[in-house]
């Protein structure tokens, strides 16, 4: 498999690519806003890691299994086509999984509705060494910990990718987790501003600019991946001041 990284993902991901390729870290937390290409990058990374480690299989995990086909499964299908591996990977929808026809490696797609069910994951060759938690903000810390404890067994190298858009609330456990220092984890932030302009549609750019003008706080959260609220206020745009006599005179209704 030959490719040029600049044709596959934005240069902003190159450091993460090299770290994963050389197994510098075990865990890779990728967070970002809309259009940041983080899911596209992870799907490509998964296939590249499996191509270089023929005893490693993978599992892609969403909170609910019924969301896998239209998200992580479709994303991996895109990556297979991008890397011109359609003749290598057999893709099934029942059960929802992919098989490397040359090596027997598997890519499983599972939900975390019941983490215990993941214990049934079996591969004929090697072990499940690549995990991808997509939209991990939907999980809780205990679920993710349980999945890792269940799946990460019997191998010598593991890659755990975790991708999400930061919640608005700074108090969210995912935002708080970003502040925790872990020697085996690399954290990467990306936004649409890191992506070549030609990779984004005119309508995407229009919507981003429109939101930045009409709701700057929401724009910063959805597109710039910033937590912009405390999570405690019902209304975030309240101004505390005295109401003037002129404003009272303009009130349409009084009680």
Catalytically annotated residues: 135
DSSP class of residue 239 equals: -
Going 33 to 39 to 44 to 49, the CA torsion angle's sign is positive
- Residue 60 φ then ψ, to 5°: -105, 130
Tokens of 52: 């270089």
- Specify whether the CB–CB gap between 221 and 168 falls below 8 A: yes
Residues in the chain: 255
Of the candidates 240, 188, 216, the one whose C-alpha atom is nearest the C-alpha of residue 37 is 188
DSSP state string for 67-131: GSIIIIIHHHHHHHHHTT-TTTEEEEETTEEEEETTT--EEEEEESSSGGGGGG---SSSEEEEE
Of the candidates 154, 157, 151, 143, the one whose C-alpha atom is nearest the C-alpha of residue 115 is 143
CA gap 40, 201 in Å, rounded: 16
- Specify whether the CB–CB gap between 135 and 60 falls below 8 A: no
């Amino acid at each position: 498999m030959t490719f040029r990284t600049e044709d596959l993902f934005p240069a902003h991901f190159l450091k993460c690519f090299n770290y994963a390729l050389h197994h510098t870290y075990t865990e890779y937390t990728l967070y970002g806003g809309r259009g940041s290409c983080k899911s596209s990058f992870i799907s490509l990374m998964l296939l590249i890691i499996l191509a270089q480690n023929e005893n490693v299989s993978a599992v892609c995990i969403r909170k609910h299994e019924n969301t896998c086909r239209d998200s992580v499964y479709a994303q991996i299908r895109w990556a297979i086509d991008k890397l011109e591996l359609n003749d290598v990977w057999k893709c099934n929808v029942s059960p929802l999984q992919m098989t490397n026809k040359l090596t027997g490696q598997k890519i499983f797609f599972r939900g975390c509705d019941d983490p215990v069910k993941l214990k049934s994951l079996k591969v004929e060759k090697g072990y499940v060494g690549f995990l991808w938690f997509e939209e991990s903000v939907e999980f809780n810390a205990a679920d993710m910990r349980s999945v890792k404890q269940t799946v990460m067994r019997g191998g010598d190298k593991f890659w755990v990718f975790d991708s999400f858009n930061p919640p608005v609330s700074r108090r969210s456990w995912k935002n708080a987790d970003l502040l925790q220092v872990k020697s085996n984890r690399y954290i990467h932030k990306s936004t649409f501003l890191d992506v070549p302009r030609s990779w984004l549609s005119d309508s995407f750019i229009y919507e981003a600019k429109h939101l930045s003008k009409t709701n700057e706080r929401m724009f910063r959260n959805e597109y710039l991946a910033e937590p912009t609220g405390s999570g405690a206020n019902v209304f975030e745009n309240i101004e505390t001041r005295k109401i003037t006599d002129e404003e009272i005179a303009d009130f349409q209704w009084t009680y």
